[in-house]
Amino acid sequence: STFAGMALLARSMTGDAKPGSPYATLAMILFVGVTALSMLAAGLGLGAMDIANESGVSDAVIVGIVGDGIFGPMFVFWGIANLLIGGAMIIQKNLHQIVSYLFVGWGLFMIIISAIEAADIPDAVGLVLWAGLNLTMVAAGILTLRSKEAS
């Protein structure tokens, strides 16, 4: 999972002598929490479909609403985690600074988008967020592997 990978990246940035370690530790905790929230929301969505087949749509709607309620705040916590891990990367200077600032930017963008959810945000904005964040995570992974390969 993307979130598990980000939690492991944050974990690799923690340690007593590493600057920015508290930010990385908090990011790791939040990524683990976001992983749990996404699994719970997905499980409730799948469960709602099973309940619709067995008990009827009215019961499934209730389970679906609960799943949507859990899924909604996930983006706030995911944004905060991206902001924290980006901050830790900036402090530690262990990856290219552009990648670090991109994580901070995507985190702020996610938090802002979540705060103004009442506004009608086009799907294209979500697509840009998804694509940009995934490309940033891929770049972070490649840079991490290259740095480990060089040492």
Burial class of 74 by CB neighbour count within 10 A (0 to 12, 13 to 18, 19+): buried
User: For every one of its 151 residues, what pLDDT tens digit does the chain have, with 9 covering 90 and above?
Assistant: 788 889 988 998 898 888 989 999 999 999 999 999 989 988 988 888 888 888 888 888 988 888 888 887 888 899 999 999 999 999 998 778 999 999 999 999 888 888 776 666 777 888 888 899 999 999 988 888 887 777 6
What is the secondary structure of 49-96 as a DSSP string? HHHHHHT-HHHHHHHHHHHHHHHTTHHHHHHHHHHHHHHHHHHHT-S-
| pTM of model > 0.75 | yes
Greatest Cα pair distance in the chain? 59
* Cα–Cα dist 95/82, whole Å: 14
Task: Answer for the pair 103, 72: CB distance below 8 angstroms, yes or no.
Answer: no
Alpha carbon distances (Å) from 128 to 41, 55, 113, 124, 145: 23, 39, 12, 6, 26
Scan for tokens 């901050």, then name that residue: 87
d(CA 138, CA 101): 15
